[in-house]
Structure formats: structure tokens, C-alpha cells
Amino acid sequence: MATILIAEARFYPHLNDMLLAGARAAIEAAGHKHETLTVPGALELPGAIALAARSGRFCAFVALGVVIRGETYHFEVVSEESARGLMALTLQGFAIGNGILTVENEAQATARADPSQGDKGGGAAQAALALFELREKYA
């Protein structure tokens, strides 16, 4: 049984609750344990995962958050840099599922976050578990 860290950017609590529910259900269904770490925003997720990874306590990571397009360029910076940071960690050998939603509006976020609809939290957890299993296979 592995322990998976769910790192969440809790900027939109009602949307994050749905992402978390999906991620937790997928991890538990696979027979693993999980812990949750909360950071203020999506830009902090790669750094938080990198810090937690140093502990050696976690076999995989799930990054959850929601970035909704606003009226400024900030959306692009947050979307691109959080994804780039997670990909850099993945290429270093960390098993990470990216569940950061990058959407135009709250309706899109709700449809993707809801476990009974898009279940992107569950999908991110499944991706992290698949990478964990792949890493174990080739270790």
C-alpha cells in the first residue's frame, strides 16, 4: 500500500471539494492511502510537491486546482507555469497526476471537477498511480 500526496491549490473551495472527492475515491479504490496538502494557488503546487517529495514519504502526487480565465494575462502565466513546473518534476522521475483545471468559466470547471461528470480529480489520481506503477516496473 502506497501513500499518495494530494496537493491542492484551494482558490475555489467548492470546486476543489469536488476534485478532492474524485481523487480520494480513485486512490482508495486502488487500495492506497492519501494525505492532503493545501497551498494558496496553482503556482505553488510544483514547489510544494518538490518539498514534500524530499521527505520520501510519498510514492506519487496528485496536483489539484482550478484556474479560470480572467481579464488579464495572469491566466496564461499561472496555467503555463504550473503545468511546466509539474512536467519538470515528472521528467525527474516523480509520479504526478496533473488535475489543474484551466477553464474559461466556472460552468466549465464544475463540469470537469464533478465526480459524476468529468471527474478530473479522479483522472489525475489514476494518472499518478499509472506513473507510479510504471516507475516500479522499470526501477
84 is in an annotated binding site: no
Lowest mean pLDDT among 18-32, 43-57, 63-77, 90-104: 63-77
Specify the pLDDT at position 56: 96
Cα 50 from Cα 68, distance rounded (Å)? 25
- Residues ≥6 apart with Cβ < 8 Å to 31: 1
Q: Mean pLDDT, to the nearest integer, of 11-18?
A: 96
Specify the pLDDT at position 71: 87
Q: What percent of the chain has pLDDT over 70?
A: 100
Domains of the chain in sequence order: 3-8+21-138 (3.40.50.960)
103 is in an annotated binding site: no
128 is in an annotated binding site: no
Whether the pLDDT of residue 8 is over 90: the answer is yes
Beta-strand relationship, 3-9 and 33-39: parallel
Whether the pLDDT of residue 70 is over 90: the answer is no
Contact predicate 119/22, CB 8 Å: yes
43 is in an annotated binding site: yes
Helix axes 120-138, 106-113, angle to 10 degrees: 50
Contact predicate 109/101, CB 8 Å: yes
Cα 63 from Cα 121, distance rounded (Å)? 9
Q: Which of 34, 11, 21 is nearest to 100 (CA)?
A: 11
| pTM score, whole prediction | 0.96
Active-site residue list: 74
66 is in an annotated binding site: yes
